[in-house]
Amino acid sequence: MSFLSIFNSFRTKDVAPARVPTDTVIPLHYRDDNTVNRSIGLDFLMQFDDVLDVDKVIGALERLLEKPGWRKLGARMRLNEQGKLEYHVPAQFTPSRPAINLTRATHDMSISDHAIGSQLPRPNGSLQVIRDSSKFVPLFCSPDRPRLLKHYIYTDCAQLSVHVVSFSDATLVSLSWLHTLLDAMGRRALFLAWTVMLEGREADVPDFYGYDFDPLAPLGTATTPSSKPEDETEDDHVDDSAPPTGDFVLRKRQLTGWRKLQFVFNFMWELFMHPAVESAVVIIPPTFFASVRAAALADLRAADPATLVTDTSDPTNPQPFLSDGDVLAAWWIRNIVVAAQPWVATASRTRTICVMNVLGMRDVLARTAPALLPLQGGAAYIANCVTAMHSYFSLHELLALPLGRIAARLRADLVEQSTRPHIEAREAFAKRAVQATGREPLFGGPSGSGDMVISAFSNWTKGRFFETDFRAAVLKPCGRGSGGSAATTGRPTCVLANGTGNRMFSARGSSCCVGRDAGGNWWVGAQLRSKAWANVEKMLEGL
């Protein structure tokens, strides 16, 4: 027996609580239980510039989780003998086994007099960089909240942790959960149902879809799905031009063998040489973004029309189409995530930059055949339902191309990769890879090159979190927020997200837009090296 095995034999192993016989056991959905979701804990802050009736706010959420189906959100999580995660739903919630992990704090002062609360971001009409945004976490999160998978499976804590901080003129409401529970649009559905309960409209709470079955299980098995959705919004121009071939366009880019080893080595080398990362938030005012968007559209005048996605809503005057999200992602990835990196000056101009846009699939899976989800409003699907759109640039392209051309490529890749046939083909490819290797496939540069940097971008604007409506719980409006008191009473004026990962997972280089506030300001954050944020500050000073 080796020394290591002898040492391990003396270690105390974590033991899960005994199973409660009356609990209902439900396997986690396929897209919920994966390595990435297991590795990410999330904290989500909403600052209300009002005094809220906390008992009313929390009571509404607890009553929601008592309803059929919705009880699943109060489940405990366990790991079964096959290494798969399960939900154990209590037959009833009690003080010893509550539906949520609730903690509260009260400060008998104005938030502007609190050492940390006074520093919470507030728009001022200019580009702002709020460095080290993790400094706010001790204010809006309980230190005892579960953060890692082991905190859930080896305790009897609930899936959702709620922490409420009350000031004389503001209220902070924060949620924490493991990413296995839900994604951004799942959180949107939860907040809408929470609001309905808060307003006393219990009969209007939507049905909970997918309680004890996985609606997305058939994904990747369909052979001839329809390509055209019934209806689209401006940001959903995803099926107009791609043929329903069912082919997976990234198939030849899969990283295998030494190319995969090269990517993993480069990634681990970055973590080893520069272990510290800093979270920061940038507030982008509407006037600045309008100028960026106008410049991006102007860039398309000289572009090859064949490379552009066209808005044909007016057949007599078709125009190149870019969504706000395309422009924001292009500007952010180029100027904030890549150009500011300390390694850019010495990197090869041919190095591949992969922009990985996170795409919600609810609309396309509800509006194309065979439909796997109900249409929006018909029922609530509280789970993970996202995929990734990949766009590849050489470092030279990303730094040298006009911004509009970068945004146009993001849009074109979205159109090509977000059709139902492509999503089906991608899912089938991924499932085969997981069965063969136990892991999701990785995709690299041209011909699967491993000399690549991945930058993930998740845009939560469609979640409309700045429009979360808790007016029914307002005791005293204080109206200090952007957009005026009428626009922000009972609605968040500051929304922040914080990610926590285990030792085997790093979110460096990843970015998240939490949304657009009542004043039209974009709130975007990322995790980068501190030196990169110093470069960002210098760059933004010039703008």
CATH number for the domain including 387?
3.30.559.10
- pLDDT tens figures, 365-380: 999 999 999 988 789 9
Res. 238: pLDDT tops 80? no
**Contact between residue 133 and residue 280 where contact means Cβ atoms under 8 Å apart:** yes
The pLDDT assigned to 9 comes to 39
Same domain, residue pair 254 and 300: yes
Identify the domain boundary among 204, 224, 249: 204
Rounded to 5 degrees, φ, ψ at 436 are -80, -35
Closest CA to 197 of 62, 365, 80: 62
Q: What is the mean pLDDT of residues 347-352?
A: 93
The pLDDT assigned to 485 comes to 57
Same domain, residue pair 196 and 245: no
The pLDDT assigned to 214 comes to 98
Q: Please report whether residue 366 resides in a domain.
A: yes
Rounded to 5 degrees, φ, ψ at 392 are -120, 135
**Contact between residue 33 and residue 82 where contact means Cβ atoms under 8 Å apart:** no
Residue 446 banded pLDDT, cuts 50, 70, 90: confident
Same domain, residue pair 22 and 100: yes
Same domain, residue pair 313 and 169: no
Res. 312: pLDDT tops 90? no
Res. 228: pLDDT tops 60? no
Q: Please report whether residue 375 resides in a domain.
A: yes
In a 13 Å sphere around the CA of 302, the CA atoms on its Cβ side amount to 8
| d(C-alpha 370, C-alpha 380), whole Å | 19
The pLDDT assigned to 222 comes to 58
Same domain, residue pair 263 and 177: no
Q: Please report whether residue 52 resides in a domain.
A: yes
Residue 504 banded pLDDT, cuts 50, 70, 90: low
User: CB under 8 Å to 379, separation ≥6 — which residues?
Assistant: 206, 207, 208, 209
What is the tally of structural domains in the chain?
Answer: 2
**Contact between residue 477 and residue 452 where contact means Cβ atoms under 8 Å apart:** no
Res. 286: pLDDT tops 60? yes
Q: Cα angle at 341 between 337 and 345, to 5 degrees?
A: 135
Burial of 517 (C-beta count, 10 Å sphere; 0-12/13-18/19+)? buried
Please name the amino acid found at residue 204: D
Same domain, residue pair 191 and 261: no
Res. 437: pLDDT tops 90? no
Strand partners, 498: 43
Residue 408 to residues 65, 193, 244, 528, Cα–Cα distance (Å): 43, 36, 22, 26
Residue 480 banded pLDDT, cuts 50, 70, 90: low
Task: Pull the structure tokens for residue 259.
Answer: 């190319």
Mean pLDDT is highest, among 4-18, 71-85, 496-510, for 71-85
Residue by residue, DSSP assigns 190-210 as: HHHHHHHHHTT-GGGPPPBS-
Residue 523 banded pLDDT, cuts 50, 70, 90: very high
Residue 14 banded pLDDT, cuts 50, 70, 90: confident
DSSP 300: G
**Contact between residue 342 and residue 529 where contact means Cβ atoms under 8 Å apart:** yes
The pLDDT assigned to 500 comes to 82
Same domain, residue pair 379 and 321: yes
The pLDDT assigned to 439 comes to 84
Residue by residue, DSSP assigns 165-192 as: EE-SS-EEEEEEEETTS--HHHHHHHHH
- pLDDT tens figures, 111-140: 999 999 999 999 999 999 999 999 999 999
The pLDDT assigned to 349 comes to 94
Q: Please report whether residue 497 resides in a domain.
A: no
Q: What is the mean pLDDT of residues 493-499?
A: 95
Same domain, residue pair 61 and 199: yes
The pLDDT assigned to 70 comes to 98
Computed over every residue of the chain, the mean pLDDT equals 90
The pLDDT assigned to 501 comes to 73
Kindly list the strands in the beta sheet with 24-27, ordered across the sheet, starting from the edge strand earlier in the chain: 24-27, 85-89, 76-79
Res. 381: pLDDT tops 50? yes
- pLDDT tens figures, 448-468: 788 899 999 999 999 999 999
Same domain, residue pair 198 and 298: no
Q: Please report whether residue 24 resides in a domain.
A: yes
Residue 447 banded pLDDT, cuts 50, 70, 90: confident
Q: Please report whether residue 499 resides in a domain.
A: no
DSSP 375: P
Mean pLDDT is highest, among 153-167, 310-324, 495-509, for 153-167
Burial of 1 (C-beta count, 10 Å sphere; 0-12/13-18/19+)? exposed
Same domain, residue pair 390 and 509: yes
Domain that holds residue 82: 13-204
Same domain, residue pair 100 and 53: yes
Angle between helices 54-64 and 184-198 (to 10 degrees): 110
Q: What does the CA dihedral 18, 24, 29, 34 come to, rounded to 10 degrees? A: -10
Question: Collapsing DSSP states into helix, strand and coil, what is residue 380?
Answer: strand
Res. 271: pLDDT tops 90? no
Res. 190: pLDDT tops 90? yes
User: CB under 8 Å to 151, separation ≥6 — which residues?
Assistant: 157
Same domain, residue pair 292 and 157: no
Q: Please report whether residue 392 resides in a domain.
A: yes
Q: Please report whether residue 493 resides in a domain.
A: no
> How many other C-beta atoms can be found within 10 angstroms of the C-beta atom of residue 486?
9
